[in-house]
């Protein structure tokens, strides 16, 4: 699966929220459904459909424990997204370096002004 396909899955705010919940630890489908229904006001079958999309695309795994179905994050596709984003990291690193330089310059100029005032 390419990184861009992963963005189709992650493009939905409900699915992103489900992954955030699963990132905190394994959750039962009932727990996930309760939170998502409360936050998004969607039906239980709609939540199940989002869980199925995450599972079918490898973002989540599910295991049965008695009558409960427990979901967990699968890191593989998220690592692919991370790898895809890697080529862009240089852009924001450059920007952050430039920002740090500007902040340092601003501090220096304020210090010089303050020193002149005190003189």
Q: Map out the domains of the chain as residue ranges.
A: 6-73
Residue 1 banded pLDDT, cuts 50, 70, 90 = very low
Cβ atoms < 10 Å from Cβ of 81: 18
CATH class of the 6-73 domain in this structure: mainly alpha
Could you read off the pLDDT of 33-85 as tens digits, one per residue?
Answer: 999 999 999 999 999 999 999 999 999 999 999 999 999 999 999 999 998 88
pLDDT of residue 74: 96
Q: How many CB atoms lie within 10 A of CB 46?
A: 15
Task: Judge whether 70 and 62 are in contact, CB under 8 Å.
Answer: yes
Per-residue confidence (pLDDT) for residue 89, from 0 to 100? 83
The burial of 96, by beta-carbon neighbours within 10 Å (0-12 exposed, 13-18 middle, 19 or more buried), is given as exposed
């Amino acid at each position: 699966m390419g990184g861009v396909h992963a963005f189709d899955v992650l493009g939905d705010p409900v699915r992103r929220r489900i992954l955030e919940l699963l990132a905190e630890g394994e959750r039962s489908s009932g727990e996930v459904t309760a939170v998502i229904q409360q936050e998004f006001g969607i039906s239980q079958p709609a939540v199940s459909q989002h869980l199925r999309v995450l599972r079918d695309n490898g973002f989540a795994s599910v295991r049965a424990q008695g009558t409960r179905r427990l979901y967990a994050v699968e890191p593989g596709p998220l690592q692919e997204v991370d790898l895809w984003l890697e080529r862009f990291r240089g852009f924001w690193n450059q920007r952050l370096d430039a920002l740090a330089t500007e902040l340092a310059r601003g501090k220096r100029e304020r210090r010089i002004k303050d020193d002149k005032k005190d003189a």
